[in-house]
Amino acid sequence: MPGTHIEDLSQHVGGDVELHGWLYNKRSSGKIRFLLLRDGTGVVQCVMMKGNISEELFASFDQLTQESSFSVKGKVRKDERAPGGFEIELSALKIHQIAKEYPITPKEHGVEFLADRRHLWLRSARQHAIMRVRHTIIKAIRDFFDGRGFTLVDSPILTPNAVEGTTTLFETEYFDLGKAYLTQSGQLYAEAGAMAFGKVYCFGPTFRAEKSKTRRHLSEFWMVEPEVAFNDLNDNIELAEEFLEYIVQTVLKNRAEELKNLERNTTFLENVKKPLARISYDEAVEILKKKGVAFEWGNDFGGTDETVISEQFDRPVIVHRYPAKIKAFYMKRDPLNPELALAVDVLAPEGYGEIIGGSQREDDLDVLLQRIAEHKLPQSAFEWYLDLRRFGSVPHSGFGLGIERTVGWICGLDHVRETIPFPRMIYRLAP
Ligand code: NSS
């Protein structure tokens, strides 16, 4: 059954192949009929010529409806005019199933209509391009860390404690042990991994009960989180720069066709090379003030603030040293100004906002105990984490990159809902 795949047709020019797939579209003009077959790797037109094939075979054209499943045999011809550059001179056809009237037609549909049919919408050319870019981003991420001596140490999803504040926790009952929470970030466990293996990353789904209905927020999203023993904030920033360069340049190289189909202007993506732009929080606030934004030092940046800041740069901008007050309990304070945390965010250009958040971690036991108390967190739930400071504590740093925001930025999409196969948002849990 396997047959050939459309993306490999260039190796079969002049030869006979068998292809399996679904009907993307069809058209006819007089004695010639075209079936557009989609197989998940591409779309190819299969040509049926009256007189060259049996009446019965020629008539099967009429039976096939959009998304009907079928297999064809035929000769591969190179044809510059054909979509994809090849066509199949059809000689045999086997129908697997005639599809019922397909709800998604080539006409425009509203986004809610499509989102309700996400299981079918994934078959569309645009979604196909986005998912292939997502795949390549994820592969680039793994290749990057695997090629640099990092060990994959995955974090649990059911956890007894919060990482990123207590307001966005999803809660569930956990047998006789009380409450469990869906993880907001694998970081705390990655820190344990770093003390065991030096350089680690975890990569998995993370959850936030975000009440906000924005184009950047999902309640379930994927995050990759490297954590490195003996890295300080500066080492962390350099790792983030090298990492982003690798991801973006890999996508530009391997997914040019998909980016073209998405009509992505790649000028700014080509600029994603080390060193990126670097500013402090204070400098970012200055930018906002110069642009006439009413912003008070000490606040966190909102979506529009991030857009204004990032619009000043033609590549991602690294913003470091935020007021400690607005950042998580585990961040180390700047020894030169204890009001600041050794935090780092990376804002994508063109208004895509924050894609990376990270920091150097507090490595002193007593200071960390004090922070846990200040943040009113239950110390007992963090005893294991505090052990990392009791037994051979060292400076260490890491960050988290959100996959969906990265896909949205690289593909040039205006909402994260199209960046993940089945999005979960405040108002969407299905399909
Ligand atoms: O909250 S973060 O800024 N940082 C952390 O969770 C750290 N514990 C990571 C670490 O240092 N290991 O989230 C990191 C990234 C952020 O920059 C976004 O790209 C993404 O995770 N993120 C989200 N993406 C989609 N939807 C939501 N709700 C979301 N929240 C964060």
User: From CA 164, how far away is CA 161, in angstroms rounded?
Assistant: 10
Q: Is the pLDDT of residue 211 over 90?
A: no
User: Which pTM was predicted?
Assistant: 0.96
Q: What's the chain's average pLDDT?
A: 96
Nearest-CA residue for ligand 1 atom 9 is 400
Question: Is 257 in contact with 224 (CB distance < 8 Å)?
Answer: no
Sign of CA dihedral 286, 289, 295, 296: positive
Q: At 1, is the pLDDT very low, low, confident or very high (cuts 50, 70, 90)?
A: low
Distance 431 CA to ligand 1 centre (A): 24
CA of 257 to the centre of ligand 1 (A): 29
**Ligand 1 pocket, residues with Cβ under 6 angstroms:** 163-164, 185, 187, 208, 210, 217-218, 221, 223, 225, 354-358, 398-400, 402, 404-405, 416
Q: In what order do the strands lie in the sheet with 179-182?
A: 158-159, 179-182, 171-173
**Buried/exposed 160-191: b ≥16 CB within 10 Å, e otherwise:** bbbbbeeebbeeeeeeeeeebbbbbbbbbbbb
Cα(239) to centroid of ligand 1, in Å? 17
Report the pLDDT averaged over residues 284-296.
97
Evaluate whether 140 touches 247 at the Cβ level (below 8 Å): yes
pLDDT tens per residue across span 337-355: 999 999 999 999 999 999 9
Q: Which atom of ligand 1 is nearest to the CA of 163?
A: 8
* Distance (Å) from CA 1 to ligand 1 centroid: 43
Question: Ligand 1 centroid vs 206 CA: distance in angstroms?
Answer: 9
As a whole-number percent, the residues of the chain with pLDDT over 70 amount to 100
pLDDT tens digits along 164-204:
888 899 999 999 999 999 999 999 999 999 999 999 999 99
pLDDT above 90 covers a percentage of the chain that reads 94
Query: According to CATH, where is 3.30.930.10 located in the chain?
Result: 118-418
> Tokens in use for 186?
């694998």
Atom 31 of ligand 1, residue of closest alpha carbon: 402
Location of each CATH 2.40.50.140 domain in the chain: 6-97
Q: Whose CA is nearest to atom 13 of ligand 1?
A: 357
**CA-359 nearest atom, ligand 1:** 11
pLDDT in tens, 371-405: 999 999 999 999 999 999 999 999 999 999 999 99
Residue 293 CA, ligand 1 centroid: distance in Å: 25
Domain covering 118-418 in this structure, CATH number: 3.30.930.10
Band (pLDDT 50/70/90 cuts) for residue 161 is confident
162 versus 329: the higher-pLDDT residue is 329
For 228-245, how does the pLDDT look when each residue is reduced to its tens digit (9 = 90+)?
A: 999 999 999 999 999 999
Q: Per mean pLDDT, which range of 63-67, 102-106, 146-150, 387-391 is the poorest?
A: 102-106
If you measure from the C-alpha of residue 259 to the centroid of ligand 1, how many angstroms do you get, rounded to a whole number?
A: 25
Atom of ligand 1 nearest to the CA of 330: 8
Q: Structurally, what CATH architecture does the domain formed by 6-97 represent?
A: Beta Barrel (2.40)
